[in-house]
A and B are shown apart, each in its own frame.
Chain A
């Protein structure tokens, strides 16, 4: 969140998110197959847009302009309609993200319990502001509204796991663990 006095530039779809890396291009056979499987639960193919975005994002980590176009072509859904869905849902990324996405809860209970302090800590440790990705490409920090675990505030979600009752040292552990995990893994 920018300060009151600094203009807040909203970066919705207003700039192109072309990407020339391997995360773009036509859908793979695997992606198509997964989409088709999902689509079989729906009356028509065009309702499967959101699921398709999720499926493809699972493989590519984020949805580039070329990717969204590829999905649009495959499902015959107008690309603007897909974009509308993609930009509405917080968990669809239209910009590159790191391998681990940290959703830090910023709603009331977590705020009372000091999420701002945690955010400052993350920002200092990883040198990233919300919306940014760490230089090593591992972590992206995002803010999120209530995650529904208020009694264990402050909380954050890392990928799909919840981490509760956090303090600075818990965060350090988490970060270290993930760093190590990715260092051990052969670079992808």
Chain B
């Protein structure tokens, strides 16, 4: 380890880093702009100047840019040297000649890296008295504000957006004094990671537009560590909330990234960042509702739709208590339906209440089997689920049947970095340090091999070396043959089409020849054979290389992999429930269905679902948003969303992560399990088997119970910290020390200050009292350090720049028993049939915006969701005489859908692509993949039957 001297102090340091990041790791304050921990150095801003001395005799030294300086063993440097200080101050002064003096109205203010650096440089007086350069701003879509006058030309935005995230519509335009960062013309920034510009830009050029409409300063936000609920990657977030202006109820105001070394690092996707608005949307359930008895006479209401009225929660809880009591006397069936989009704790509570025999997963048979498969595959010790840094280090990637940009967005960003590994390898051999960003990027050379086979590939096409667009059946058979080719190339069938054969042999060669191959697949094709064949490729590769194969499997929802752990016997899906209820018809006992945070219309086809619901005498729903299922409910309880509750999710890697409540939900909103607990407490005679429920107080009581009852989920008892955790006798503060208005905010109602809301459930306070140091626990989500108000301060809380967080890891992998997966028979090769419009296979296509249920209700996102469409192969389109943008009808087993045609050269012939979960197409999702017939739409429009 090299030893260096900085301002007279000796340090042992990591010689791989540049001087700037070394200084930051040492905790020294060196100002900078253009360097970014994840994107390296380009030496553009000149802010990071330091002095370097030849030897101890050298009295003058020479000015260097620390971000561009490699560490020299025995090197002598200075941050504090007057010349360096003066230079840094003059850089700020230069930047300030054009920077507007608009901090008070700038939304970056209070967490602005430019403010921080200005303070740090000591340049506090402005001598320039001239006019400033002014720009016109652009409309960049519903997510991001543009205020170009604040630009300091550090180039971070384009380096992130183009180089790092592969965007193409943001550029540095113009030259000299007039450089402009914007689009060619106004319009939405198209890249799905654009929201990171808000954090990447050191000034207020790019700010969060959704936050703008309910803006407060960073120091006025109350935060807690949370987990993004919009896909199963499990990115960590720091939601921020504060009382709204005209009521005392806090509202969620924004989401920012919360650094997690193994998952999201410094970046989130736009669904995760802007999806939060669903929480404040008009569809949010805020009160306890019960059905109104009168019939609905309304043209828009469908058969079976119910109208609701607000009722006193006590009435509803009492009713629930009665039903529980009845169930315990054997006079009522109480059936619980769980959900992959809520916590383990909520699912467990419902399971406990209704009994395991009456608890169903809320998934269709198909979906549940797929998840079961994922879990089975991950249990094999020849398989390893890679973390994000591991994905970024892979030197060859095979993606099968998963459009990851739309199903596991953050992972696609990691894959994009992996594509550069050949370039990085070359840099290493030329002894160019990897942090020398522009030098490394200039190296010629191909991307590392990325091979894709599946229905649709978004965002990554340009860096993919080979693509095969085929139906899931053919993808499975491709994978199967690939497995053969890896173990024994001679065993391949000679009947294979030559081009396919070539791709198979090529891919096998790449996988065999690489040292860190990675395979990515998942459940989104909804095709078990694909998963099985993928597993086979992975195991064969592992046998060949004598090391576990990295296999990333993406699941559909945030807690898919958690929920499935309650159903390890493979039972409990909705199709089984339907069968059971159908058989029950002559049984005289009435049935109550309790549905937990689940829109069943997205799970089961409409016909089966109607049947299922009609078998129940009563439907009780606990949920966050009104949805088609809620229209059928007799009782609705308002449930808290992720940011309002505590619980555990298990991500695609099997990592159990706890999230904490950021604020308390409005009014009667509470965690679903609390409604169940309340009901049990209302039972006059508490049945013995439910006494445990009555005793629950905190979410952790449930976590511990889960850990005791389910050995695979044992990790839950070591997750933490729990509510009794204290640092120096204190809780961690959710509010910053400067949280303003505490004594005034409620003054119009009461002049004396309200005591802060107590939180018995978490080791955090809903106030500014407590510990504020993110070094001492992972609980602190407000990342701040003196002098570092912006999110750049995260380096103060990492082991080293870009390393693990010092406050301890968040998340523990669940321990599933190691088990060799069964040998599945090879899938039969699908017969070739001519495309036939009366029998097309519908395949799901996913969209970053539009496929996920909750974020679809966010205002910004709802603006950019595409209209539903049917994607048709271009050759088929000719044969069927169908044209682009023509209206078409899709006749399915559950009604007719109509949408515009989109012609595509890649969608496999004989299939049509159907956007999954898009508004108006939600009820089509359970039918995917399935068959339908196509015909030109005839007026008048009919939707569904």
Residues of chain A whose beta carbon lies under 8 Å from any beta carbon of chain B: 2, 4-10, 12-16, 65, 68, 78-84, 87-88, 90
Q: Are B131 and A7 in contact (CB under 8 A)?
A: yes
Name the residue on A nearest B137 (C-beta): A14
| Interface 0/1 of B164-191, CB less than 8 Å to A | 0000111111110110101111000000
14 example contacts (A-B, Cβ-Cβ < 8 A) are as follows: A5-B131, A12-B174, A12-B178, A13-B173, A13-B185, A14-B136, A14-B138, A78-B169, A79-B169, A80-B170, A80-B183, A80-B184, A84-B173, A90-B175
Q: Are A10 and B169 in contact (CB under 8 A)?
A: no
List the A side residues contacting B131 at CB < 8 Å: 2, 4-8
Q: Which of A2, A4, A6, A87 contacts B173 (CB 8 A)?
A: A87
Distance (Å) between the CB of B438 and the closest chain A CB? 16
Q: Are B133 and A8 in contact (CB under 8 A)?
A: yes
List the B side residues contacting A12 at CB < 8 Å: 135, 173-174, 178, 180
Name the residue on B nearest A84 (C-beta): B171
B130 within 8 Å of A (CB atoms): yes
B134 within 8 Å of A (CB atoms): yes
A81 to B138, CA, bound (A): 17
**8 more CB-based (< 8 A) A-B contacts, given A7-B132, A10-B135, A10-B180:** A4-B131, A12-B174, A13-B174, A81-B168, A82-B184, A87-B173, A87-B175, A88-B175
List the A side residues contacting B132 at CB < 8 Å: 7
Name the residue on B nearest A12 (C-beta): B174
Of the candidates B175, B177, B185, the one having the most CB atoms from chain A within 10 angstroms of its own CB is B185
List the B side residues contacting A2 at CB < 8 Å: 131
Q: Which of A16, A78, A81 contacts B185 (CB 8 A)?
A: A16
Count A/B pairs, Cβ under 8 Å.
67
Distance (Å) between the CB of A119 and the closest chain B CB? 19
Distance (Å) between the CB of A2 and the closest chain B CB? 8
A185 to B174, CA, bound (A): 35
Distance (Å) between the CB of A43 and the closest chain B CB? 9
Q: Which of B130, B136, B171, B182 contacts A4 (CB 8 A)?
A: B130
List the A side residues contacting B136 at CB < 8 Å: 14-15
A10 to B181, CA, bound (A): 13
List the A side residues contacting B170 at CB < 8 Å: 80
Q: Which of A4, A65, A87 contacts B174 (CB 8 A)?
A: A87
List the B side residues contacting A80 at CB < 8 Å: 168-171, 183-184
A127 to B351, CA, bound (A): 85
List 5 A-B pairs, minimum CB-CB distance, nearest first: A12-B174, A78-B168, A14-B136, A84-B171, A80-B171
Name the residue on B nearest A82 (C-beta): B184
Name the residue on B nearest A17 (C-beta): B185
A88 to B178, CA, bound (A): 10
Name the residue on A nearest B178 (C-beta): A10
Size of B's binding interface in residues, CB under 8 A: 23
Name the residue on B nearest A77 (C-beta): B168
Name the residue on A nearest B172 (C-beta): A84
Distance (Å) between the CB of A127 and the closest chain B CB? 25
List the A side residues contacting B135 at CB < 8 Å: 10, 12, 14
List the B side residues contacting A10 at CB < 8 Å: 133-135, 174, 177-178, 180
Distance (Å) between the CB of A156 and the closest chain B CB? 20
Of the candidates A5, A14, A16, the one having the most CB atoms from chain B within 10 angstroms of its own CB is A14
Q: Are A13 and B184 in contact (CB under 8 A)?
A: yes
Q: Are B182 and A13 in contact (CB under 8 A)?
A: yes
Q: Are B185 and A65 in contact (CB under 8 A)?
A: yes
Name the residue on A nearest B170 (C-beta): A80
Name the residue on A nearest B179 (C-beta): A12
A15 to B182, CA, bound (A): 12
Q: Are A83 and B173 in contact (CB under 8 A)?
A: yes
Q: Are A88 and B169 in contact (CB under 8 A)?
A: no
- Considering only residues 104-159 of chain B, those with a C-beta below 8 Å from chain A are 130-136, 138
Q: Are B134 and A8 in contact (CB under 8 A)?
A: yes
Distance (Å) between the CB of B114 and the closest chain A CB? 20
- Considering only residues 229-260 of chain B, those with a C-beta below 8 Å from chain A are none
A8 to B132, CA, bound (A): 7
| Interface 0/1 of B562-590, CB less than 8 Å to A | 00000000000000000000000000000
List the A side residues contacting B180 at CB < 8 Å: 10, 12-14, 87
A153 to B183, CA, bound (A): 40
List the B side residues contacting A13 at CB < 8 Å: 173-174, 180, 182, 184-185
A2 to B518, CA, bound (A): 58
List the B side residues contacting A84 at CB < 8 Å: 171-173
A13 to B182, CA, bound (A): 9
A8 to B131, CA, bound (A): 8
Distance (Å) between the CB of B174 and the closest chain A CB? 4
A102 to B550, CA, bound (A): 63
A80 to B170, CA, bound (A): 6
Distance (Å) between the CB of A20 and the closest chain B CB? 17
A6 to B134, CA, bound (A): 11
- Considering only residues 176-226 of chain B, those with a C-beta below 8 Å from chain A are 177-178, 180, 182-185
A83 to B180, CA, bound (A): 11
List the B side residues contacting A82 at CB < 8 Å: 184
Q: Which of B133, B134, B171, B174 contacts A81 (CB 8 A)?
A: B171
A68 to B169, CA, bound (A): 14
Name the residue on A nearest B136 (C-beta): A14
Distance (Å) between the CB of B920 and the closest chain A CB? 32
Name the residue on B nearest A7 (C-beta): B131
Of the candidates A2, A7, A13, A81, the one having the most CB atoms from chain B within 10 angstroms of its own CB is A13
A7 to B134, CA, bound (A): 8
A182 to B168, CA, bound (A): 42
Of the candidates A15, A16, A87, the one having the most CB atoms from chain B within 10 angstroms of its own CB is A87
Distance (Å) between the CB of A12 and the closest chain B CB? 4
List the B side residues contacting A83 at CB < 8 Å: 171, 173, 184
A84 to B175, CA, bound (A): 9
A13 to B148, CA, bound (A): 12
| Interface 0/1 of B586-621, CB less than 8 Å to A | 000000000000000000000000000000000000
Name the residue on A nearest B130 (C-beta): A4
Given contacts A16-B185, A83-B184, A87-B174, are A9 and B134 in contact (CB under 8 A)?
yes
Name the residue on B nearest A65 (C-beta): B185
Distance (Å) between the CB of A1 and the closest chain B CB? 10
Distance (Å) between the CB of B242 and the closest chain A CB? 35
Q: Are A88 and B174 in contact (CB under 8 A)?
A: yes
A81 to B183, CA, bound (A): 9
| Interface 0/1 of B498-523, CB less than 8 Å to A | 00000000000000000000000000
Of the candidates B175, B180, B184, B185, the one having the most CB atoms from chain A within 10 angstroms of its own CB is B184
List the A side residues contacting B183 at CB < 8 Å: 80
List the A side residues contacting B185 at CB < 8 Å: 13, 16, 65
Distance (Å) between the CB of B460 and the closest chain A CB? 16
List the B side residues contacting A65 at CB < 8 Å: 185
Name the residue on A nearest B444 (C-beta): A43
A68 to B185, CA, bound (A): 12
